[in-house]
Structures are given as C-alpha cells and as structure tokens.
Amino acid sequence: MVEYSFVVDLSGNRLSPCNKNKAYYLIRKNKAKMLNKFPMVIQLQKIINDDDNDDVKNYLGIDDGSKNVGLGIIQQCNTKIKTIFKGTIELRQDVSTKMTVRKGYRKYHRYHKRYREKRFDNRRASKRKNRLAPSILQKKQSILRVVSKLLKWTKIDAVYLEDVLIDIRAMIEGKELYKWQYQKSNRLDNNIRLAVFMRDNFECVDCSSKIKLQMHHAKPKNSGGADSIYNGVTLCEKCHIKTFGKELQMMDKYLTKIKGKNLCLRHPMHVMQGKKYLQGELGKIAPLSLTTGADTANHRIDWNIEKSHSNDALVICGTKIKSTDINIKDWHIKPLRKKSKGDVETIVDGFKLRDYVKYTKRNGVCYIGYITALYPDRKQFNMTTKDNIILKRYGLKSLNLISRPNSIRFS
C-alpha cells in the first residue's frame, strides 16, 4: 500500500507530494526535515522555483454525510493521474445531548442561586436569520477544519462536492410521485396526531378502546423514528403505559398492524441542512462543482471501484481512475474538541491527554488509541482504541507514544 508525503519548500511553497520512502531518504540526507508525522509532511532545506508545478492540478472530492465524510485528493498532470490522499472524517454525534445537559445546568443555576422571574425569547443568537443548529453547524465546520489543514500542505485547484438531493416524500412513499400527489399531504391533516387517529378509526389498535387515546411512535424518535403517519399508532392510555421502556421490542408488532415503515430520516435531513453554508465556504477556497449521487454510483460501477466513503470522494472528482490507483493509505480523521482554558495540562512520564499511543500487553496483544484519562499518583491511564474498546487503569510502562495531535487526529 502506497503512502505519500506532502512537501513544502523553505519558503512554505506547496509542492507535489512524494513517496513516503523518498521523504525519509531526504530526511536522512539532511535535505529535508519533518514537519508532521501523521500524515507525513516534510520541508525541503531550500527554495524551489517549480515552474512545472503550474501544469499539475489537484482536485478535492468530498462525500458529505451525517456520521462520516469522505475526502479524496486526485493529482492530474499531462502524463498521468494519481491519488495522493484519501480519508474518512468521523463526525461528532453527541452535541445535541451535551447541549441538553448544559441547559439543565443553566436552568438549575438560575432558579436555585436566587429567585429570578422566568424570561422567554431572550436569546438573540437563536433567532437570527439563516441560523444553523449547533449540532448541524459543528459537522460542517469539522469538514472545513480538515480541508483548511490539508490546504496548508498541498494546493487545491478545484473542489467537487456531492450535492444532496434527497426527496423525503419519495422516501416515505417508497415510489416516484406525480406532480399532483405532491400537493396532497401524506399526513391527511397538518396535525399528525389527528391524522393517526382518523386512520385507526379513533380506537386503540390493541384493545379497541375509544377512551383517552394517545399517539405512540412505533419507532421512538430518540432512536431515529420519523415523525410521520407511517410511524404513528393509536393507543389508549393503559396500553401506552405498557410500552414504556419496551418501545423497540414492540416496534415490529405495531408497524405490522398499521402497515407502517421503519424510516430513519434524521441522517439524510442532517446532511440536507447546512449544505448551502458548506457550499459557500468551500467556494471561497477553490472553484466549486456539484455532482449527484447517481453520477458517483455509476462511475464507481463503471470503474470497478469498491464502495467506501473515501473511495466515493475520489470518484466524485469525475476524473477516471482505476482500482489500482486508489491503493493508498485510508486515513481515519477525528477532529478534536477545543480544550477548556481552565484545564491544567497534566504530564505523567511524558504522556498527556489526547496522545495517540500504542499499548502492548504481556501476552503480546497490542492496542492503538488515544489517552482519555491520566492518574499521576499510580501512573495509570485510560484509553479508547480505534475500535472503540475502552481500557481503564492500565500502567504506563508498556505504553509508546505514536503522535501528539493538536486539533485533528489522523490515524
């Protein structure tokens, strides 16, 4: 598997990447020094006037997603095409939950420190025009952070982004709709709750009771269930109480009764939201071109490329590539949260929080991951591996430092 090293000269000019082995050769000969190890970036000890570099074009492809985002860079010159970088960004999914917890802390502080009257509608930032929810905005900003990092190491002449064109109504119906069908609401009424009652003849689907009716989501909303008539079921109060804590166990039963659909529209809707913001910011970096998912799928099949987020990002560039051209290291990219200014930097035997390390057990089993906690008194640590395995209270003796990422971790 080929791995490339980014190259800059003494004045910071971005040159064409070279093979990683050649980069180490230049370092050994004192012709270059290493600026970054993961991914590898070297700086030559002289200024290069590379006139031929103008004929080389680098194209960045982005496969946008709600959980993972694919990135790929293709270099095209007069004689050949090669892929110089590909990776997958892992986006955070915990922002909404953390904001809810913070809201509880703020509410407790306001009401328990001293009595103050309730205030409503007093947050100007949450009411501004074209505002994006923080859970959506941070995902788009994570993409821009990684692109800005790559832009320091290599030039980008054009950006190709897969435009998200998701027809939510067609997904719910499961078929192509005529124009007149779009004008007819699939809720039967603007009130989904009333529409569900009308469909079920205003009676509980379990016991046929018509007293104290309630709408129940067959697939809970906190598990990604859609707020749709195809996920709503009519239950009386007693039957509804029986479902508490057993929603997922009883989901298939209710979906079968109402001929519903197990839909999860959260992720496609998250990708749809904020796409104009992302397109505007990427357009400031380089000329932006939009492609469609259909073109990506067709090219991937025609060129016999295996499906993955990073491979799709390469295909999105539209430049014909072969399956052998993409046999390079696939980076796993994790943008890190900003540290609090109040955090004290703890160093134990040369290790810090967030260090990317390798731990070897006595039986020879190795784990690679990052440090999540340090215990100076007993010289122990906690770590989370690349496979999300959590190791707690292990000794520092068998620990080796791989890298010390600052804001973005490449592994």
Instruction: Read off the pLDDT of residues 348-373 as tens digits, 9 standing for 90 and up.
Output: 888 988 899 999 998 989 999 989 88
Mean pLDDT across the chain, nearest whole number?
85
The verdict on 227 and 241 lying in the same domain is yes
Pairing of strands 57-63, 158-162: parallel
Is position 245 within any domain? yes
Is position 1 within any domain? yes
Using the predicted structure, report yes or no on whether residue 219 has a pLDDT greater than 60.
Answer: yes
The verdict on 136 and 274 lying in the same domain is yes
The verdict on 212 and 308 lying in the same domain is no
Of 220 and 173, the structure prediction assigns the larger pLDDT to 220
The verdict on 83 and 155 lying in the same domain is yes
The verdict on 284 and 370 lying in the same domain is no
Could you say which of 305, 335, 365 is where a domain stops? 335
> Residue 65 and residue 147: Cα distance in Å, rounded?
15
Is position 349 within any domain? no
The verdict on 150 and 281 lying in the same domain is yes
Bridge partners (DSSP) of residue 59 are 74, 158
Is position 290 within any domain? yes
The verdict on 309 and 217 lying in the same domain is no
Question: The domain that contains 403 carries what CATH number?
Answer: 2.30.30.140
Residue keyed to tokens 């949260």: 337
Is position 173 within any domain? no
Q: How confident is the model at residue 130 (pLDDT cuts 50, 70, 90)?
A: confident
The verdict on 100 and 146 lying in the same domain is yes
The verdict on 372 and 402 lying in the same domain is yes
The verdict on 276 and 145 lying in the same domain is yes
The whole-number pLDDT of residue 173 equals: 53
Is position 342 within any domain? no
Pairing of strands 81-90, 41-44: unpaired
The verdict on 331 and 373 lying in the same domain is no
Least confident of 50-64, 77-91, 201-215, 296-310: 50-64
The whole domain housing 136 covers 56-114+132-163+263-335
The predicted model gives 282-296 an average pLDDT of 91
What would the pLDDT profile of 84-121 be if each residue is shown by its tens digit? Answer: 999 999 999 889 899 889 888 887 776 676 776 766 66
> Residue 112 and residue 398: Cα distance in Å, rounded?
48
Q: How confident is the model at residue 148 (pLDDT cuts 50, 70, 90)?
A: very high
How much of the chain, in percent, has pLDDT values that exceed 70?
86
> Residue 59 and residue 72: Cα distance in Å, rounded?
8
Pairing of strands 408-410, 57-63: unpaired
Using the predicted structure, report yes or no on whether residue 169 has a pLDDT greater than 60.
Answer: no
Q: How confident is the model at residue 264 (pLDDT cuts 50, 70, 90)?
A: low
The predicted model gives 394-406 an average pLDDT of 89
Is position 119 within any domain? no
Could you say which of 200, 235, 260 is where a domain stops? 260
Domain count, the chain: 4
pTM of the predicted structure, to 2 decimals = 0.77
Is position 351 within any domain? no
The predicted model gives 37-49 an average pLDDT of 91
Question: The domain that contains 304 carries what CATH number?
Answer: 3.30.420.10
How much of the chain, in percent, has pLDDT values that exceed 90?
43
The verdict on 153 and 69 lying in the same domain is yes
The whole-number pLDDT of residue 170 equals: 53
